C-alpha cells in the first residue's frame, strides 16, 4: 500500500508517494503519542492524588494532636484553678485561726497580768526582702503565695510568743501550785496543835511534830501543794502515811489514813484528794496528822495552814 501526496509548486503539480515503511512509522507515532500522553497523565494524576492523600492524613493528624493539646491545656487550667481555689480557702482558714490565736493570746496576757507590750498579738511580724515584679499573668498566683508567706510568718511569730507565754504561765502556775497553804481537809476541825502537849495515851508531856485535823472517817485528805508522792505505806505511829515532796526542801506528811488514793511517784496537784481520813496507827479517832518538813526538819505547820493561797 502506498499514499500519493499532491503538492502545488511553481513548476506545477508534484506528487510524493509514501511507501509502506513510512506509513507504518507515521501510524505508530499517531497511536503512541496519545497513549504515552494518557499514561503520563494517569501516573501524574495518581501521584498528585497520593500526595494529596498524604497531606490530608498529615493535616488530620495535626488537627487531632492540636485538639488533644487544647484538651490537656483546658484540663491543666481547670486543675490550676482548683488548686488556686483550694489555696485561697486554706488561706482564709489560716487567717481565721490567727485571729482566734490573737484573741486567745490577748485574753491570756490580760488574765495572767503579763506585760501587754511584750506580748502584742495585734502587731504583724517584722519581715521583708527584695521582690521581683511578677508578670501580669502570674500576678494573681504571686499575690496568693505572698499572702500565704505572710500568714506563715504570722503563725511562726504567734507560735514563738505562745511558747514563751506558756513557759511563763507554767512557771507562774507551778509557783502557785507548789506554794504550801491551807488545810489538808475540806471539812473538819483542828483537834491538836504543834509543840508540847500531853500524850493522849500516857497523859505525860510529849512533843507533837504536827497538827491534827479531826473529821468524818472516809472524808477526803487533800494535798496542800503540788508535788511528787515520795512515800505511801505504814510507818510506826503514823499508821498509813502519805508523804509529798514539793521541792526546795519542803515535804508534807499526812498520817492515819484509812485508804491511799495515790502511789509513790505520782504527781499531784494542789487540792487533789490523796487519801481517805482514817484511824490507823497510834490514833484515838478519825483524823489526819499533818506535818511540814523543811530540809528534813519539822516546822510548825500553822503558818502554812493560815496563809492565803497565791492567786
Residues 256-308: tens digit of each pLDDT? 999 999 999 998 999 999 999 999 999 999 999 999 999 999 999 999 999 88
Mode of pairing for the β-strands spanning 211-214 and 239-247? unpaired
The pairs formed by 306-309 with CB atoms below 8 angstroms and a separation of 24 or more are: 307/181, 308/181, 309/176, 309/179, 309/181, 309/182, 309/270
- Helix (H), strand (E) at residue 31: helix 20-112
Which of 24-28, 120-124, 211-215 has the least mean pLDDT? 120-124
Give the pLDDT mean for 209-221. 96
Confidence of residue 87 (pLDDT cuts 50, 70, 90): confident
Task: Report which listed range, 84-88, 126-130, 138-142, is most confident.
Answer: 84-88
Which of 99-108, 218-227, 234-243 has the least mean pLDDT? 99-108
If you ran DSSP here, which 8-state letter would residue 192 be given?
E
Cα separation of 212 and 234, whole Å?
Answer: 18
pLDDT at position 15 is 55
pLDDT at position 127 is 44
**Superfamily for the 189-306 domain:** Glucose Permease (Domain IIA) (2.70.70.10)
Cα separation of 157 and 151, whole Å?
Answer: 10
Confidence of residue 191 (pLDDT cuts 50, 70, 90): very high
Which is more confidently placed, 145 or 118? 145
Which of 19-28, 138-147, 150-159, 255-264 has the least mean pLDDT? 19-28
Say if residue 128's pLDDT is above 50: no
pLDDT exceeding 70 applies to what percent of the chain? Answer: 50
3-state SS, residue 201: coil
Say if residue 192's pLDDT is above 80: yes
What is the model's pTM? 0.49
Dig out the grid coordinates for 161 from the structure.
510568743
Average pLDDT value for the chain: 75
pLDDT at position 129 is 45
Which is more confidently placed, 276 or 309? 276
Cα separation of 303 and 32, whole Å?
Answer: 141
- pLDDT by residue (tens digit) across 6-57? 455 565 555 555 555 555 566 555 666 666 666 666 666 666 655 555 556 6
pLDDT at position 276 is 97
Amino acid at each position: 500500500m502506498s499514499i500519493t501526496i499532491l503538492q502545488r509548486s511553481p513548476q506545477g503539480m508534484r506528487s510524493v508517494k509514501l511507501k509502506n515503511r513510512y506509513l507504518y512509522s507515521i501510524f505508530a507515532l499517531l497511536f503512541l503519542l496519545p497513549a504515552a500522553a494518557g499514561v503520563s497523565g494517569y501516573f501524574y494524576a495518581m501521584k498528585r492524588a497520593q500526595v494529596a492523600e498524604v497531606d490530608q492524613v498529615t493535616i488530620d493528624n495535626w488537627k487531632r494532636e492540636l485538639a488533644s493539646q487544647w484538651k490537656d491545656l483546658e484540663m491543666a487550667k481547670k486543675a490550676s484553678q482548683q488548686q488556686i481555689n483550694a489555696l485561697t480557702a486554706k488561706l482564709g482558714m489560716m487567717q481565721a485561726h490567727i485571729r482566734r490565736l490573737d484573741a486567745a493570746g490577748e485574753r491570756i496576757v490580760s488574765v495572767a497580768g503579763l506585760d501587754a507590750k511584750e506580748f502584742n498579738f495585734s502587731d504583724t511580724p517584722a519581715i521583708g526582702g527584695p521582690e521581683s515584679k511578677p508578670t501580669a499573668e502570674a500576678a494573681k498566683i504571686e499575690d496568693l503565695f505572698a499572702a500565704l508567706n505572710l500568714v506563715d510568718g504570722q503563725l511562726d511569730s504567734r507560735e514563738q510568743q505562745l511558747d514563751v507565754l506558756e513557759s511563763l504561765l507554767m512557771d507562774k502556775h507551778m509557783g502557785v501550785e507548789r506554794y504550801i497553804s491551807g488545810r489538808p481537809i475540806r471539812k473538819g476541825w483542828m483537834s491538836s496543835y504543834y509543840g508540847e502537849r500531853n500524850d493522849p495515851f500516857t497523859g505525860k508531856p510529849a512533843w507533837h511534830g504536827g497538827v491534827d485535823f479531826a473529821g468524818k472517817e472516809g472524808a477526803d485528805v487533800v494535798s496542800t501543794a503540788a508535788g511528787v508522792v515520795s512515800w505511801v505505806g505504814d510507818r510506826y505511829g503514823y499508821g498509813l502515811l502519805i508523804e509529798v515532796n514539793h521541792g526546795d526542801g519542803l515535804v508534807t506528811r499526812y498520817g492515819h489514813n484509812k485508804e491511799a488514793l495515790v502511789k509513790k511517784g505520782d504527781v499531784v496537784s494542789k487540792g487533789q484528794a490523796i487519801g481517805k481520813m482514817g484511824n490507823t496507827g497510834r490514833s484515838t479517832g478519825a483524823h489526819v496528822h499533818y506535818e511540814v518538813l523543811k530540809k528534813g526538819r519539822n516546822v510548825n505547820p500553822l503558818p502554812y495552814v493560815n496563809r492565803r493561797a497565791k492567786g
